[in-house]
Chain A
């Protein structure tokens, strides 16, 4: 982690510094919620209640929590198939997400999208995209609309390290800079693209940060396991975007604790790597930070218990929820609600 420039780290001035206690408790709560919900998704998969595939963000919670906490209503999130955390972080109810993973009628898209396509337009989650890179240009388009309409809304696009090697990444970066769009590109560098170490397939050391210069952007490389750092960096990028000063590209160093997807035991990781990263587990890091700041154990436990109850209740609600009705099969192909292609 020696290369990390914690540009957003500021001297500790006590809990009521620029971030403040209320936001810190929110950041912690968000990370615990993402952790518990993702862990539950994994457990439900082991019980064969989550079908299909799923890509967990265990270990990457600080990125999702840090950005979502810095967002305002009207800001839009564009996620990948690894999108549960970003969706939940925008305030989408756990039941809606688990319900979709369990392919129930109470799911966000009533089972029509599945784990890889979580969408909640009312929360500003404008889709989760499973074709690598596809959503970077789409986020540009939403930012274009904000620019055109003169709103202060910002589009935020999350993606992995592997995504920096696909053409759409480069097209979107250039396009966003040329059009000066209010969009933030957030690369979660978890060191792997699926099963392959990112370093072995990338021309530069830092897949996003080292490309920033090619688009005239500032090189931003941060500790993605520290929610304070993420939050501060996000705030700077939002301020820039809202001021009409264009896009940012932010590389967050992080690590996924589980395999790439549910089918992956992650045997390709070198001995000890996971354990080393777990020492810097973002939830653990942040709990210690709160304690250092004098937040008492009771307040921390209260957050954790509250979140566990939310996830437990959501799980029970999903188990009891019906499967989607069969007539959903042919709805919403076209705007008239159906799938007619002929008269």
Chain B
């Protein structure tokens, strides 16, 4: 066991897979010499050399296309897109190329790659460097989508993503890079498509992802201590495949559902889950499901504005308490 930052877990996760399999290669802007703009890939160049860890031009389409061409011919590339907002300039690969080549070719082509990217708000970067865009990817048949909330999951889900035969979009949260967590020694390999019960509870289920997980956990502690409401917090971890069994199982026990989503409200992942619960577990519910989200706005830069845009611990507490008491 060692305490590791989320940032260092990224480098360790990639290194674990590069050591295991020499077909794993890594490319992106500023990732090699500079160790990444978030310093999440420091040391990889020194360890694996410039043939396997490669700096690219500012060419997001070339990065994505090169990863795809390498993947379809036998390598296992990990590509970095510095900020997830930049998906918009290479979205063709995310929407049209990675996820459709297997289907269109009737199984002749494969696309086993990982795109890792810095996602989410909290850095006061404004509207074009702060978004939570996991729902851009979740809606596309053929992709898998994960978003770890802690260092251990970063390593385990990275391993699962690299070893997976399908294209995986790996959302790292920028505001979690500096956070720390206990990580076991040795190889860590997790499973895609599994949610985790981060805190058991009996009165209500709170679903959260990435940065919203620690906030949901803090809110749950407050709700218990100050209001006697015992919340179960489920870290969704993987949007595709989606672990509906863990989610439905939790709702069946607590009879109440809350989602805490960083994305702007429309078409967030919580909407899909609420619809699944409404469809399959309606009679388990003792009250309406509630989505706690960022409003339908671009994100502002100013700290006092950004802070009230995202779901906060207090907003989660308030919303759960009001709903449970009504």
Answer whether residue A332 sits at the interface, using C-beta atoms and an 8 A cutoff.
Answer: yes
Answer whether residue A117 sits at the interface, using C-beta atoms and an 8 A cutoff.
Answer: yes
What residues of chain B lie closer than 8 Å to A335, measured between beta carbons? 102, 110, 112, 164-166
Is A342 in contact with B241, judged by CB distance below 8 angstroms?
yes
Is B103 in contact with A144, judged by CB distance below 8 angstroms?
no
In Å, the complex CA distance between A142 and B51 comes to: 15
Within 8 A of B (CB), among A137-180: 137-146, 148-149, 155, 167-168, 171-172, 174-175, 178-179
Is B72 in contact with A126, judged by CB distance below 8 angstroms?
yes
What residues of chain A lie closer than 8 Å to B300, measured between beta carbons? none
What residues of chain A lie closer than 8 Å to B70, measured between beta carbons? 141-142, 144-145, 148
Answer whether residue B73 sits at the interface, using C-beta atoms and an 8 A cutoff.
Answer: yes
Is B66 in contact with A144, judged by CB distance below 8 angstroms?
yes
Answer whether residue A127 sits at the interface, using C-beta atoms and an 8 A cutoff.
Answer: yes
Answer whether residue A109 sits at the interface, using C-beta atoms and an 8 A cutoff.
Answer: yes
What residues of chain B lie closer than 8 Å to A112, measured between beta carbons? 103-106
In Å, the complex CA distance between A171 and B58 comes to: 9
Interface digits, A324-338 against B, CB 8 Å rule (1 contact, 0 not)? 000010011111010
**Which of A117, A142, A178, A334 has most chain B Cβ within 10 Å?**
A334
Is A138 in contact with B69, judged by CB distance below 8 angstroms?
yes
Within 8 A of B (CB), among A105-154: 108-110, 112-113, 117, 119-122, 126-127, 129, 131, 133-146, 148-149
Within 8 A of A (CB), among B46-105: 51, 54, 56-57, 59-75, 77, 92-93, 96-97, 101-105
**Given known contacts A121-B108, A137-B65, A141-B69, is B242 in contact with A333 (CB within 8 Å)?**
no
Residues of chain A at interface, number, CB under 8 A? 52
In Å, the complex CA distance between A148 and B25 comes to: 10
Is A142 in contact with B73, judged by CB distance below 8 angstroms?
yes
What residues of chain B lie closer than 8 Å to A117, measured between beta carbons? 104-105
Nearest-CB residue, chain A, relative to B66: A141
Answer whether residue B244 sits at the interface, using C-beta atoms and an 8 A cutoff.
Answer: yes
Interface digits, A87-116 against B, CB 8 Å rule (1 contact, 0 not)? 000000000000000000000111011000
Is A155 in contact with B103, judged by CB distance below 8 angstroms?
no
Is B65 in contact with A134, judged by CB distance below 8 angstroms?
yes
Is B62 in contact with A343, judged by CB distance below 8 angstroms?
no
Is B110 in contact with A136, judged by CB distance below 8 angstroms?
no
Is A109 in contact with B244, judged by CB distance below 8 angstroms?
no
A119 partner, pick from B93, B104, B243, beta carbons under 8 A:
B104
What residues of chain A lie closer than 8 Å to B142, measured between beta carbons? 333-334
In Å, the complex CA distance between A175 and B60 comes to: 11
Nearest-CB residue, chain B, relative to A120: B108
In Å, the complex CA distance between A46 and B79 comes to: 46
Answer whether residue B193 sits at the interface, using C-beta atoms and an 8 A cutoff.
Answer: yes
A268 to chain B, nearest CB (A): 28
Is B97 in contact with A134, judged by CB distance below 8 angstroms?
yes
What residues of chain B lie closer than 8 Å to A337, measured between beta carbons? 107
Answer whether residue B200 sits at the interface, using C-beta atoms and an 8 A cutoff.
Answer: no
In Å, the complex CA distance between A341 and B240 comes to: 6
List 7 extra interface pairs beyond A144-B66, A341-B242, CB under 8 A. Answer: A109-B105, A121-B108, A127-B105, A127-B109, A139-B69, A172-B62, A328-B106
Give 7 closest A-B pairs by Cβ, nearest first.
Answer: A137-B65, A141-B69, A335-B165, A141-B66, A171-B59, A142-B69, A109-B106
Give 9 CB contacts A-B under 8 Å: A108-B106, A126-B109, A127-B109, A138-B68, A142-B70, A144-B70, A174-B57, A179-B54, A331-B107
